[in-house]
Structure 1
Amino acid sequence: MNKRQVDLFNYLCGAKDYVPAKVLAQQYQVSSKTIYKDIDDITEAVSESNIQIQKKPRAGIKVSGKDKDKVKAMNIIANLQERQSDEIGTSPAERRAVMVKAILLQGRQQTLKQLSEHWLVSKTSILNDIAWINDIIAINSPGIESDGISLEFKGNEEQRQTAVTTFVVDNTDVKLLSSDNYLKQFFDPKVIRTLSDYFVKNQTEWFENVPAYYRFALQILTLVQTARAALGHHIQLRSSQNDYETSLSGDSAEVATNLFKAISKQLQITFTQGDLDWLARNLSAYRIGPIANGISAQWEATVQEMITRMESLQEVKIPGRKLLRHQLMFHLPAMVLRLQKGLIVRNPLLGDIKSQYPELFGMTWYAMSFLEDRYRIELNDDEVSFVTIYFHIAINQVITSRNVLIVFNQHGELRDYVKSQIRMLLPQNTKYTTASLGSFSQIDLTRIGLIVGVNLKSLITSVPFVGISPLFDANDQTKLMKAYADALVKPQSSQGTVHFPILRRSIDPALVFWKERMPNKQDALNFLVDRLEAAGKVNTEFRSSIFRRERLGTTELDSGAALPHAVPNTVKSLGIAFLILKKPVHWNSIPVSIVVLACVPEAQVNIYRDLVMDIYRLVQNRQMVQMIVGLNNTDQFLDLINQ
């Protein structure tokens, strides 16, 4: 018995009726054929018990018998599973981790037949796993290839190590950054402890100011390099002596040398000059070394250009330009180097940024888009979101501050703590007034923009209110940031109307496509691109730019709309295409009913901000999306926009 079969049997024992094999196959991400094979194995294992496993055509599978007999049978299955190797798991995530370790990290020869028999799934399930792995790693590497019999990675050593690093980093989250259990799926525990001492516990002077998610990515990269070196596989030294000397200059070379000495001493692993060069270059890409110490005049001009583009989009002059310039001068060179090398850094705040500041996120991507051609890189959502934070802080200073009133209900001993936490979270130019619940009625609310109630669920007031707990946990922080944005940021940055003035002037009825049927996201995108090409709005590079953007990050909103976009230099003239679908299509994580493809050329960058704001206002909530889908034709849709 394997873990999937144990879980499957327990699930069926708890079900009151027949469960279709198709439903079970979807739940365990295997084929129906595999489910029936599992049932045959289980039936044989519990053949001497007093339960019956029934298979009924067009109904499914059911376990019948008394509860006490089901419990005995469940124990029989569990005992059989304990005698078997724990390596076989129930989830695709476990299978994929083991395959990445075997094929990519260890370079072991694997066949579809071996994996299918080992995991007790079909060859199709294995190929689906490989396709899933390739979606993550194949952006900057060849991916795992199949000839129908065996599976093989044909990239060079740098590509192999980058692929493994990308997979391990991509499949973790902020909660797993210090989890040895997660890393033990891939690496030897002794190697993990050695690297953990260097990157996490000791926090040497080289890494003490480096964010945890940067340190984690570097730790994984070094774990991969160490594991490969232990197997006798090394990075080839670059042929260009000048390039080699440049990459080994400065602090990054010293860090790499010290790190390899520590690993070699404890683990008796030999590293080559090529390995040292590779690590030194990666350290530089994470802002450890020459990149952090000196910035060229070329970067000065690039940073100034980016800030100017954002000011044009936002139609503001950003205060504190000097601080923003310094931050971007420090961040952008390392970001570009990371992207050129295919290194992945995850931003744990990405989800919050995209959900709370979608317009600014989109404008930041637009303002940064010129970097792709200039430095031959592909931007991704994580890197764009880091820069969004810098712009958010800078632009937020433009907004006229209004008072925040903090009302406390008991818990006087926590007042100073809560006040300090709120001050750390909200913009620096926010002004605060504090009061107890008893004195609230005496407060003049004329200039108060938001009330924060500590240990209060609600207050009867016309001023926007948000309640938080005295502990001020992550949920409270998210609630407060959203309330602040809704009450104090969005009203002052909007146009003061729910109408869509720029969209109204820019929309072309010929580019509104009504109640079309699309089998998937790819067909929906190709449909719109075909129409925009036929209208002469975009050039031949537009399609590849759209699909590249989709591959590197999500463009769907929780409302059920998707807003794909391409780099502006692929656009010939302004055009906004709408696709209202008859039935939703699956778009990465959610079903999407409306696709909006806005094309704005560089020459019309001045309207980009207002156009994006109009589009977001139109489709940012689920009720509005459902209302649009419920309309009958283009005329009704245009009436909605023009009213």
Structure 2
Amino acid sequence: MILEYSNGLHVGGDSVKAEEIPNSKDRKYYILARLVDGEHLSYQRLSNDYFISRSSIAHDVELIKALLAKDNVSLGFDNSGTFISGGEIVKQKVIKRIVTDLLRAADDRSSILKLFIDSSSITRVEEIFQKQVQSWQLEVPEYYIDDIVISTAIVVDRGLLGHHIADAKGNQLGSLLFQFDKYPLVYELIKGVEEAGVYSFTPDELRYLSYIVIGNGFKFFMKDLQIPASFKSKVKLLISTVSDGLNIDLTQDTRLHADLTVHLYQMFLRLQAGTTVINPLLDEIQENYPQLYGTVWYAFSDFGSDNHIAISDDEVGFLTIHFQAAVERTKSAKRVLFVCPNGIGTSSLVSAKIHRILPEVSLIEVVSQVDLVRQDLSDVALIISTVQLPAQTVPVANISPMITTHDMKTIMNRYIDVSMDGSEQEVDFSHIHSIPFLAKDHVLFCNAKSRTAIIDSLMAMNEWPNAEQRNMFRQTVFQRDTVQSTYLDNGFVISHGDPSLVSHSCIGVAILDKSIDWMSNRADVVALLMIKKEDRKSVEPFMNVIMNGINNKDWFISRMMEISEHD
């Protein structure tokens, strides 16, 4: 067992003291640690081990399934009980997410952390890597370094316990990764652990960690590697698809294409190792940019399906940030007005100081208090004034005539408040009854018990030219669920198939009386998108409704009832 359950609890035999039994909050981690260690556990055995009911164990298992689903990992079942499906790479992927979450937790979770890894392994690997990266003067983002460190520490810790990676993929990229004479930084970074006497990697472990390093720092560690032109073309297609969904043309943004190409190629390399980078900002991204996240998720699901790779929500979150940056670049620069009644000299002095602390703002205009009344403020971000002004429709920063250090901080803080208001504009749902392709008879309230029954019911809402085409589309719907999870959050699922097999665009929604199992999650709202390629840009209004519904399910159900009853 991992670290031999260092709290002293011994299961499956001897009696234990009450204080040694994990509480309900921590119990799922103890169970998960045993599953990662390769145990097959029945509900009855766990009930006996932890002195709780089988229903409590069932609840713990549901929580574990939800954790595993984030990495497209599932639980298996046999006569011996429940177990984690997959080899050592899969188990290390699970450990990485748990360890990362625990390290980022606000409270001290060290007692749980040591169930999965010896924290000293993380410390030693981090010291080695940071020293090397600093000596090379590389500026690698912190979350990439963290991912490399944690992944390597897990390989070391598991290897010392006798759990070795033995199924690292040998594919078309394998020869690339072992041209260490061409890419010495990758080799030196990993071998630094061996040279420090920490651990000796097996060839498979070395291959696996090579993917991890390159997948986190492609442009840092392998600067001369050329990305294939065919891959760049796929990125262009993805940008075009998202542009259609947003009704914003981002196809001419060369920076977006360059940034996405590097990020997606790194992601592709990471997925070759069966791993992903855990996004520390995912919750904030989903909360602040729900519409954009939904649009990117929909477009990206096709990218993953076409390239036969399973893409996590973490990766969708990273892409959303790239697209949000591109959207921001399309916005016209707003003006900053400076109201000063003290003459040209004072105005010029203060204006120069403002330019110094807000260098990216080129449109700073000096106006009198009288002229301010006649100004069109629709493109004004901020008003800076040395006199008290009546209420304005835009934010105002009041400062003294000689602009002190305190005044400069006031200006910067007010401007940051304006420019960093990153949440999307509130979507107008007043026309919800006119969502394209969602008719009143396309909303189903039912008590279906299986994925198959729900998909068949939703497909029956559409018109199909023949049974063969219908069945082919149906097959692609289920295939996509195996490649990438169609589960979003809060019980919402968006399924879709190959758009080339759709002759008539249609959206169907099923709202269930009780949630059902859906690829290791629990779902009670299922939408099926049967959309032709040329109609994809019309999906955004529905995605907006879905993303808003994830935050407020009662609101969503109420809106769907309105649609189903609308004449």
TM-score, normalising length: structure 2:
0.71
Spell out, residue by residue over 1:327-376, the C-alpha distance to the aligned partner (whole angstroms, 9 max, x if none).
Answer: 12211111123234331322233233323332222222333333223321
Work out which of the residue numbers 275, 295, 300 in structure 2 matches 1:343. 275
Give the SS at the match of 1:564: strand
Once the 2 structures are TM-superposed, how far is the Cα of residue 239 of structure 1 from its aligned partner? 9.0
Q: 1:420 to 1:500 in 2, by over 3 A?
A: farther
Show the counterpart of 2:462: 535
**Structure-2 residue corresponding to 1:10:** none
The verdict on how the C-alpha distance between 1:251 and 1:595 changes in structure 2, with shifts beyond 3 A counting, is farther
Equivalent residue number for residue 530 of structure 2: 599
Give the equivalent residue in structure 2 for 1:89: 22
For 1:164 and 1:369, the matched residues in 2 are separated by 25
Equivalent residue, structure 1, for 2:117 = 187
- Look up the match of 2:296: 364
- In the TM superposition, what whole-angstrom CA distance separates every residue of 1:468-508 from its partner, at most 9, and x where no partner exists? 9979999997886447743xxx7xxx8x995469626x343
**AA of the residue aligned to 1:530:** S
Output the amino acid matched with 1:90: N
* Alpha-carbon contact 1:140-1:342 (below 8 Å) kept: no
Verify the 8 A CA contact 1:405 1:432 in the aligned structure 2.
yes
Query: For residue 307 of structure 2, what is the aligned residue in structure 1?
Result: 375
* 2:92 aligned residue (161, 185, 196): 161
Partner residue in 2 for 1:220:
150
Map 1:406-485 onto structure 2 (within 5 A).
Answer: 446-449=376-379, 461=391, 463=393, 481-482=420-421, 485=424
Secondary structure (helix, strand or coil) at the match of 1:217 reads helix
Contact persistence 1:580–1:595 (CA under 8 A): yes
Contact 2:41 2:81 in 1 (8 A): yes
Alignment of 1:276-425 (within 5 A): 276-288=206-218, 289-290=221-222, 293-318=225-250, 321-403=253-335
Give the structure 2 partner of residue 566 of structure 1: 496
Q: Aligned equivalents of 2:125 and 2:414: distance in 1?
A: 33
AA aligned opposite 1:160: K
1:119 corresponds to which of 45, 50, 56: 50
**1:96 and 1:129 in contact (8 A); partners too:** yes
Give the whole-Å Cα distance in 1 for the aligned partners of 2:452 and 2:418.
35
RMSD: 5.4
Q: CA deviation at 1:531?
A: 2.7
The 5 A counterparts of 1:230-245 are: 230-236=160-166, 244-245=174-175
Contact persistence 1:292–1:330 (CA under 8 A): no
When residues 118 and 563 of structure 1 are mapped into structure 2, their CA distance, relative to the original with a 3 A threshold, is: closer
Contact 1:372 1:379 (8 Å CA) reproduced: yes
2:3 is matched with which residue?
Answer: none
Note the alpha carbon deviations across 1:514-569, whole angstroms, 9 max, x for none: xx3548xx76995365232453466213542675699465255xxxx957243553
Query: 1:544 corresponds to which residue?
Result: 478
Structure 1: stretches of 5+ with no match in the other structure? 1-40, 42-79, 408-414, 639-643
**Aligned amino acid, residue 217 of structure 1:** D
Offset at 1:601? 1.9
Query: SS of the counterpart of 1:604?
Result: helix
Summarize the Cα distance change of 1:526–1:476 in structure 2 as closer, same or farther, 3 Å threshold.
farther
CA contact 2:508–2:528 (8 Å) conserved in 1 = yes
Deviation at 1:387, TM superposition (A): 1.6
> How many aligned residue pairs are there?
518
* Identity among equivalent pairs (%): 19
Which one scores higher on RCO, CA 8 angstroms, separation ≥ 6? 2
Distance 1:199 1:135, change over 3 A: farther
- Of 579-588 and 259-268, deviating more is 579-588
Change (3 A) 1:350 1:196: same
Change (3 A) 1:323 1:611: same
Q: Which residue of 2 aligns with 1:35?
A: none
Q: Residues 450 and 465 of structure 1 are in contact (CA less than 8 Å); yes or no, is this contact kept in structure 2? A: no
Conservation of the 8 A alpha-carbon contact between 2:267 and 2:276: no
Following superposition, the deviation at residue 225 of structure 1 comes to: 0.6
Please report how far the alpha carbon of residue 608 of structure 1 lies from its aligned counterpart in structure 2 after TM superposition. 3.5
User: For structure 2, which runs of at least 5 residues remain unmatched after alignment?
Assistant: 1-15, 340-349, 399-405, 465-469
What letter corresponds to residue 24 of structure 2 in structure 1?
Answer: S
| Residue in structure 2 matched with residue 211 of structure 1 by the alignment | 141
Residues 593, 186 of structure 1: CA spacing in aligned structure 2 closer, same or farther, 3 A cutoff?
closer
> Does the 8 Å contact 1:252/1:284 carry over to 2?
no
1:161/1:224 contact within 8 Å kept: yes
Structure 1 counterpart of 2:139, one-letter code: N
CA deviations on 1:132-191 (whole Å, 9 max, x unpaired) are: 33443367687554545565556333333333224434x447556998777444222331
Q: Which residue of 2 aligns with 1:47?
A: none
Residue 346 of structure 2: aligned partner: none
Deviations 1:269-315 (A, max 9, x none): 33222221121122222234448832111122112222233334444
**CA spacing shift, 1:555–1:617, aligned 2, 3 Å:** closer
Q: CA deviation at 1:230?
A: 0.9
1:102 Cα deviation after fit: 3.8
> Matches of 1:390 and 1:422 in 2, distance apart?
26
SS of corresponding position for 1:377 = coil
Q: d(CA) in 2 for partners of 1:440 and 1:617?
A: 44
**SS of corresponding position for 2:200:** coil
CA distance in 2, matches of 1:199, 1:581: 50
Matching residue within 49, 57, 60 for 1:129:
60
Give the whole-Å Cα distance in 2 for the aligned partners of 1:167 and 1:624.
Answer: 33
Please say if residues 405 and 448 of structure 1, whose CA atoms lie closer than 8 Å, have aligned partners that are also in contact: no
Preserved contact between residue 319 and residue 398 of structure 1 (Cα < 8 Å): no
CA shift, 1:125, in A, is 3.4
Q: CA shift at 1:443, angstroms?
A: 6.9
Contact between 2:40 and 2:80, CA under 8 Å: does it hold in 1?
Answer: no
- Deviation per CA, 1:602-632, whole angstroms, max 9, x where unpaired? 132343346656877999978965764775x
Q: Deviations over 1:73-106 (max 9, x none)?
A: xxxxxxx97xx55xx33134x22333333442x5
Q: 1:503 and 2:503 equivalent?
A: no
Q: Compare 148-157 and 577-586 and name the one that shifted more.
A: 577-586
Q: Distance in 1 between matches of 2:512 and 2:105?
A: 38
Alignment match, 1:273: 203
1:554 corresponds to 2:499: no
Corresponding letter in the other structure for 2:201: F
> In the superposition, relative to structure 1, how do residues 460 and 368 fare at CA in structure 2: closer, same or farther (>3 Å)?
farther
